Structure 1
Amino acid sequence: MAEASPGTVYRPLRIGDLAAVTSTTPRMLRHYENQGLIEAERSSSGQRLFDPSVIGQVRSIRRLLGAGLPVVAIRELLDCIHDTDRIEPCAVPILVEHLHAYDGRIAELISTRDALQGLIDASPAG
């Protein structure tokens, strides 16, 4: 997000506005808030009001979810995300840990596939 000029006042975003700007849904935003990924203030009538800086957070959260990271890992990474296009070095150990976990799962799936293929190949109908 661009730096604001001194004296610039940002208007808080209502949940529908934040959803529209981030191409998500109010339901997902409530989920992110319940999971501790984003924070909202409350208006006197109880409406969620988000600081405009949350736009970048939501975009980063969606990017990390799209990469297959669970919410628990994303919560750990929040302090390492300051730019929607870049992750700070502090995120690397957590990302490597999840990469190794996925590599292990892939290896297990390949082993299972090979075992199934072996059974098929050994069958008279194979």
Structure 2
Amino acid sequence: MRIGELSRRTGVSERALRYYEEQGLLRPERRPSGYRVYNDAHVSAVRRIRVLLAAGLSTAQIVDVLPCMVDDNGLLTPSCPELGDELVKHRDRIGEAIGELEATRANLDTIIAGDRRAG
């Protein structure tokens, strides 16, 4: 299938698919004409990439993680034992960022409340 069909089947723009290729996430076959040729495995790969992006991983991280991810009845699971530890660290970093944002919001709420009393 060509890039337009992959885009339709995955709901991902052609531009994003080209970006995934530039980042090393997809490796389509190339015809002599230069056209990219994709198969059903690429459809699955794009779906895994989208899940990992939604989980907060960067494309650079996904390049490393993707070979170790398997689709287990609709759920992505790591097949490499060391990957679980890395994902836990990533989740913990996200938790820390959430904590910092909540503290920032609380500080802003205090400032807003003080402004309302002064007005």
TM-score range, shorter chain: 0.7 to 0.9
Aligned residues: CA RMSD: 1.9
Change (3 A) 1:120 1:26: closer
Q: Which of 82, 85, 94 is residue 102 of structure 1 equivalent to?
A: 94
> 1:112 corresponds to which residue?
104
Higher helix share: 2
CA deviation profile, 1:75-113 (whole Å, cap 9, x unmatched): 121111222523125332222122111111111112212
Indicate the SS of the match to 2:27. Answer: coil
Q: Which of 85, 93, 110 is residue 93 of structure 1 equivalent to?
A: 85
- The answer for unaligned runs of 5 or more in structure 1 is 1-12
> 1:9 corresponds to which residue?
none
> 2:67 corresponds to which residue?
79
Scaled by the length of structure 2, the TM-score of the pair is 0.82
> 2:35 corresponds to which residue?
47
Q: Which of 116, 119, 125 is residue 118 of structure 2 equivalent to?
A: 125
| Equivalent residue pairs, number | 114
Once superposed, which parts of structure 1, at least 4 consecutive aligned residues long, lie more than 4 Å away? none
1:67 has 2:55 as partner: yes
- The answer for unaligned runs of 5 or more in structure 2 is none
